[in-house]
Amino acid sequence: MVAWSVELSQFDITFKPRGPIKAQCLADFMNELHPHGQFEEQWWTLHVDGSSNCQESGAGVILEGPKGIVLEQSLRFRFKASNNQAEYEVLLARLRLAEDMGASKIKCLTDSKVVAEQVSDNFQVKDHNMMKYYHAYQKLKSNFQEVLVEHIPREDNTRADQLARLAATKKPGQLRTIIQQEIDHPSVEADMVASMDADHPGQNNPPDWRDEIRAFITNGVIPVDPTDAKRLRTQASRYVVIADQLYKRGFSTPLLKCLDPVKADYMMREVHEGICGMHLGARTTVSKLLRAGYYWPTMNTDCVMFIKKCQPCQKYGDLIHQPAEQLHGIPSAWSFTTWGADILGPFPVAKGQCKFLIVVVDLFTKWIEAEPLACISAHQVQKFLWRNIITRFGVPHTLVTDKGLQFTDRKLNEFLTGLGIQHKTTSVEHPQTNGQAVSANKVILKELKKRLGEAKGA
């Protein structure tokens, strides 16, 4: 610095602050941005486009205002979204931006005909998630004087499409010249949480039923009312406090950890629809919770109400119209002697080109063996019976199947006859002979639909 000072001293250079000049530039910019207070009365044009792939999702936005103002932005979503969901997300995000800019008339141009027709009330919204976005749009639309959503061809929306592709394929450290925003959660989830908090401000911290029992056991605190005090003493005799945690004693079960309402809701969801959940009924869900070592007083009614609100359970549940009738089953003498076999499929092609499912069920123990197959030839059925039934449970006495070609094959029947297995086939007029296998198929199909219904064939 000293050397530079010596070299530049001969030119008589002095330093002058730029504070007033910067302030004047900012004042000129604000004056140009809002000319004469009529900025919000003019039309704004919004070009939106969403992009989604198997890895990331994003959207591109071009907001054109009066006086030649153009704002370009690329949005990247940190959650998995479909193309229509990405279109809705960017539409809601940019309407909020236009609202902050003070615009009152918006014309939105999108190349998604589904979104454009749904928000214009020309198409019916059937999907549950799209219905949430539709209501969020209608709520946001009420803040503007006029909002028009029009469909344009894809070739007329190329710039927004490029911005959307940049967001969906961007890698860290690249494309830093583009203004990019990241959205962590879907907009409809944030709106639902905000509306629930506004409608129920006192329900953020629900009362904990364990406090009264824990206070009585540890400190001997009892209610003033003698009736309540007697009830509390009787109730507290079934509980114990260990390491400041409340546990419930059981007759034939170990100590059950008592949960507050928030943790109880989490555990109920995890057991019912978590990574190991199978969307079971209310009674089975309660049994699994008790077997896992958890308890709260209202777990039976909570599980019943939760399953009534579970969309996959209600969508793929049984809808029985026939009156109740006494079952007429075929009794089996002992376990693993009589098996019923059937084929399920074709399903969407999975890994290994598997699209069929062979199911075999024991008529005595109701034990099910199933395996995915790429084809359902008689040779594959023979290999399955040898590997999964005969070598594991012994040679059965009877095998009951339908009259499918893979079961009536000559080589398969020679194989069964050589082992002394009686092969019985059901008649076309009375498929109830193999009713246990059909019931097993229903259970498998129902669970597959509940767990994989949202995959849409992926």
CATH of the domain at 411: 3.30.420.10
SS3 252: coil
Same domain, 371 and 292: no
**CA of 187: how far to CAs of 81, 98, 106, 134, 392, in Å?**
12, 16, 20, 11, 53
User: What's the average model confidence in pLDDT over 391-395?
Assistant: 92
Same domain, 185 and 49: yes
Residue 30 domain-assigned? no
Same domain, 87 and 147: yes
**CA of 316: how far to CAs of 70, 97, 305, 321, 412, in Å?**
49, 41, 17, 15, 36
Q: Give the tens place of pLDDT for each residue, 279-338.
A: 888 899 999 999 888 999 999 999 999 988 888 888 877 777 777 767 666 677 788 999
User: What's the average model confidence in pLDDT over 440-449?
Assistant: 84
CA 367 to chain centre: 31
Helix ranges, 248-334 (H): 261-273, 282-292, 299-309, 311-315
**46 compared with 400, residue with greater pLDDT:** 400
**Domain end: 194, 223, 240, which one?**
194
CA distance 176 to 214: 57
Number of domains in the chain: 3
Same domain, 273 and 297: yes
Same domain, 157 and 270: no
Same domain, 255 and 130: no
Q: Give the tens place of pLDDT for each residue, 229-254.
A: 898 889 888 999 998 889 998 777 78
CA distance 59 to 77: 8
Same domain, 363 and 288: no
**Domain end: 261, 284, 315, which one?**
315
Residue 55 domain-assigned? yes
Same domain, 64 and 159: yes
Residue 174 domain-assigned? yes
The answer to whether residue 386 scores a pLDDT higher than 90 is: yes
Same domain, 347 and 402: yes
Percent of the chain with pLDDT over 90: 18
Q: In b/e form, how buried is each residue of 25-63, taking b as 16+ CB within 10 angstroms?
A: eeeeeeeeeeeeeebbeeebbbbbbbbbeeebbbbbbbb
User: What's the average model confidence in pLDDT over 384-389?
Assistant: 92
Parallel, antiparallel, or unpaired: how do β-strands 356-362 and 368-373 relate?
antiparallel
Q: Give the tens place of pLDDT for each residue, 124-136.
A: 777 777 788 888 8
Same domain, 268 and 187: no
Residue 175: band (very low, low, confident or very high) from pLDDT cuts 50, 70, 90: very low
- The token pair at 11 is 């030119």
pLDDT at res. 304: 92
Q: Give the tens place of pLDDT for each residue, 51-82.
A: 665 556 666 667 777 666 677 777 777 677 77
Residue 4 domain-assigned? no
The answer to whether residue 164 scores a pLDDT higher than 70 is: no
State the DSSP code for 203. G
Same domain, 79 and 121: yes
User: What's the average model confidence in pLDDT over 212-241?
Assistant: 89
- When mean pLDDT is compared across 113-127, 172-186, 243-257, the lowest value belongs to 172-186
Residue 25 domain-assigned? no
The answer to whether the predicted template modeling score (pTM) of the entire model surpasses 0.75 is no
Residue 328 domain-assigned? no
Length of the chain: 458
Identify the domain containing residue 173 by its residue range: 39-194
pLDDT at res. 258: 92
Report phi then psi at 159, rounded to 5: -65, -45
Same domain, 311 and 356: no
CA distance 258 to 243: 13
